[in-house]
Amino acid sequence: MSDYGLIVKNLSEEIQIDSIYRNLSLSQSGASETISNNWNELDPAAGDYWTRIALTSSALPPLVLLRPDTDNFVAVMAFVQSGSNYVNVDIITEYDNGPTTIDWQCYRQNLSGSGINYGILVYNSAGALCFDSGLQYFKIHSIHSISLDTPPVLPGALPTPSYGDYEDISHAGISNPYYILSPGSQWMHATTGEPPYVPSTAMLWKIGVKKLTSTSVRVGWFAYLFDQSDSIADTVNAGYNPTMKLIVCEP
């Protein structure tokens, strides 16, 4: 609750603007960004399984929204720091389905003012900018809870199937939005083989988003890394499979 000054609420009596909370404004964006998965278990030098996107260096934590294409699942894998500053975001896609393209947006607490000559500026007691009507703020259209079964067990040494449980979400009231998928997820299957004829295998999974139509999206498990090795000592079928929140945001 604001300690003084302006308070703006929505129709649900939720605070939108006050002098305490610093709203998140658009810091950066990218269009038709190519996301590749270059992992090759036979050639470790082929490349990484993630695509690294540069962010403006800042200690303010970033919030990255994705608008996927219809061909591949994608997900935010990690944020990279240099010292105390966030400098990159790593995006992953399917290991066996070629590259895809996405649009993305990065929101942060206001790095600086818009320089507007008129409008509304709200500061907190420390002089930090909380709201600037000249900046672009993301708007939440809807929030959906999603519970998925764990990924299918890897069948021996075969790198299939590479998809798991999924749920399709429709949002008829908005077209081509951006999405936030939270929290993080991770699953691993590892199977010990019988060298030299059957190698040990490992497959890593994550929950991601894939566009179906302009008004619907699929949320589901996809495999982003498959490896064959003689060094896997134990059979593993474990990970983190939380109830996911898909946040649909206005473009």
Q: Same structural domain for residues 79 and 175?
A: no
Residues with Cβ within 8 Å of residue 109, at least 6 apart in sequence: 22, 23, 24, 25, 60
Structural domain boundaries, residue 201: 141-249
| Residue 45: strand, helix, or coil | helix
Q: Same structural domain for residues 27 and 90?
A: yes
Q: Same structural domain for residues 148 and 214?
A: yes
Q: Answer for the pair 35, 57: CB distance below 8 angstroms, yes or no.
A: no
What's the rounded Cα separation, in Å, for the pair 102 and 107?
A: 16
Residue with tokens 């497959």: 203
Q: Same structural domain for residues 12 and 117?
A: yes
Q: Answer for the pair 76, 60: CB distance below 8 angstroms, yes or no.
A: no
Q: Same structural domain for residues 196 and 127?
A: no
Give pLDDT tens digits along the chain (251 positions): 445 566 766 666 666 666 677 778 899 999 999 999 987 766 666 678 999 999 999 999 999 999 999 999 999 999 999 999 999 999 999 988 889 999 999 999 876 778 888 888 888 777 778 788 888 888 899 999 999 999 987 654 455 558 899 999 999 999 999 999 999 999 998 877 766 656 677 889 999 999 999 999 999 999 998 887 766 667 888 999 999 999 999 88
Q: What is the pLDDT of residue 1?
A: 46
Q: Burial letters for 238-250: b for 16+ Cβ neighbours within 10 Å, e otherwise?
A: ebebeebebbbbe
Last residue of a domain, one of 138, 164, 197: 138
Q: Answer for the pair 171, 219: CB distance below 8 angstroms, yes or no.
A: no
Last residue of a domain, one of 90, 105, 138: 138
CA angle (87, 241, 165) in 5-degree steps: 105
Q: Same structural domain for residues 133 and 146?
A: no
Q: Same structural domain for residues 131 and 231?
A: no
